């Protein structure tokens, strides 16, 4: 079976690897570099703490595969607990966490409630004094996302896949073909199947082929900063304030800054906003005992793109004859890449492992609002 994969992020390279391992003749097209877009700008927070059965299955499989790949190349999975919490006075999110945890436990997730005293004893670098309800997930970790994508691209090549970077690709249907290169030196190749895993560019790529899908790219932001006690931090998510923080080689990484409007995938601001940096410095100063940096002290401050769908679930599977889609991760793409990409490869090979994410459930012209992917509601 001859398969084209469009997109060299974590999903695309993993799907290419999985397809090549199952004897498909795979060519991956990436217009830039591997992990050059959203994957390279992702937070690298990895957890399987999901309440919906299909999400829990994908999360469990993804963590399992991250562990399997850890230690190859430059990729490392660092075991790190994940804590999410609501503050005193925020009854809406506190009740949501109280409802989430038992559902996660029903799915076999290693999560449990924790009170402020427990958290203080375990993670003394963090101020937990205003926490009303908190939970801790244990089957979790962190990484540098680009190292994963680079590893899987290498493994895909070793299994026989052709990985073409610096090549912009368009698609044609009936029959499925990829048009690679610019107008003056373009080439057309026929494929039995095309898997589009182009992240924020997916909607526009398909629109050019006459296919409409309900996806909206939106901008998120993050910073890294020095923090001497970084290795003793958990990964944490303040559901009330809507930001996350995690240990990082530079000290810590923190972010969110979700813009709840659609971004142009070609023309968007790649640096973090000054107002976001100021707000993040204030949040970290309030949450971490030894943090006293100003925005001017941040090592890096950047933005990336996530992609939303009408029901917050991905579009994964066959959209038209020979055309397959893997997109719409709502901010949870990288952490679930190993499981989602494996499912996408299986869909191409005429299996249907995740019918809940069937992309044909939408007409393509739905109107919907962008909602932060990590939000606890």
188-212 per-position pLDDT tens digit: 999 999 999 999 999 999 999 999 9
Query: Residue 3: enclosing H or E segment and its boundaries?
Result: strand 2-6
Which pLDDT does position 181 carry in this prediction? 80
The arithmetic mean of pLDDT across residues 274-287, rounded, is 96
Please determine, for residue 22, whether its predicted confidence score (pLDDT) is greater than 80: yes
350-368 per-position pLDDT tens digit: 998 899 999 999 999 999 9
Which pLDDT does position 183 carry in this prediction? 65
Q: Which two tokens stand for residue 237?
A: 């998510």
pLDDT confidence of 186, banded at 50, 70, 90? confident
pLDDT above 70 as % of the chain: 99
SS3 content of the chain, % helix, strand, coil (to 5): 30, 25, 40
* Residue 348 to residue 335: CA distance in whole angstroms: 22
Q: Are 373 and 332 in contact (CB under 8 A)?
A: yes
* Residue 174 to residue 180: CA distance in whole angstroms: 17
Whole-number average pLDDT of the chain? 95
Structural domains of the chain in order of their starting residue, each with its CATH number = 2-59+145-214+311-361 (3.50.50.60), 81-140+216-308 (3.30.9.10)
Return all residues near 191 (Cβ < 8 A) that are at least 6 apart.
Answer: 2, 3, 4, 27, 176, 177, 178, 322
Residue by residue, DSSP assigns 136-203 as: EE-S-EE--HHHHHHHHHHHHHHTT-EEEES--EEEETTTTEEEES-GGG-EEEE-SEEEE--GGGHH
pLDDT confidence of 74, banded at 50, 70, 90? very high
């Amino acid at each position: 079976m001859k398969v084209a994969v469009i997109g060299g992020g974590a999903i695309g390279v993993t799907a290419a690897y999985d397809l090549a391992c199952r004897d498909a003749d795979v060519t991956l097209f990436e217009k830039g570099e591997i992990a050059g877009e959203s994957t390279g700008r992702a937070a690298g927070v990895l957890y399987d703490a999901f309440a919906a059965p299909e999400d829990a299955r994908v999360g469990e499989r993804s963590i399992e595969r991250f562990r399997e790949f850890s230690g190859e190349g430059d990729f490392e999975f660092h075991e790190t607990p994940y804590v999410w919490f609501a503050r005193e006075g925020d009854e809406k999110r506190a009740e949501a966490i109280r409802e989430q945890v038992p559902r996660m436990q029903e799915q076999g997730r290693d999560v449990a409630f924790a009170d402020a005293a427990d958290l203080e004893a375990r993670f003394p670098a963090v101020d937990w004094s205003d926490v009303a309800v908190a939970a801790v997930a244990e089957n979790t970790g962190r990484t540098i996302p680009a190292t994963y994508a680079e590893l899987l691209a290498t493994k895909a090549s070793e299994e026989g896949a052709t990985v073409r970077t610096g090549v912009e690709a368009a698609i044609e249907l009936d029959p499925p073909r990829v048009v690679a290169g610019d107008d003056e030196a373009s080439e057309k190749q026929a494929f039995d199947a095309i898997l589009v895993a182009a992240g924020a560019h997916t909607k526009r790529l398909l629109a050019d082929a006459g296919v409409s899908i309900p996806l909206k790219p939106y901008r998120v932001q993050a910073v890294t900063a020095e923090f001497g006690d970084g290795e003793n931090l958990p990964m944490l998510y303040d559901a009330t304030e809507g930001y996350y923080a995690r240990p990082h080689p530079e000290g810590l990484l923190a972010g969110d800054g979700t813009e709840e409007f659609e971004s142009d995938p070609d023309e968007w601001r790649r640096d973090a906003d000054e107002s976001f940096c100021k707000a993040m410095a204030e949040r970290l100063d309030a949450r971490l005992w030894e943090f006293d940096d100003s925005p001017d002290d941040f090592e890096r401050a950047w933005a990336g793109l996530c992609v939303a769908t009408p029901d917050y679930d991905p579009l994964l599977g066959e959209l038209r004859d020979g055309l397959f889609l893997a997109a719409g991760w709502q901010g949870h793409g990288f952490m679930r890449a190993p499981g989602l990409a494996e499912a996408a490869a299986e869909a191409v090979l005429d299996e249907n492992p995740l019918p809940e994410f069937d992309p044909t459930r939408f007409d393509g012209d739905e109107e919907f609002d962008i909602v932060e992917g990590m939000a606890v509601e």
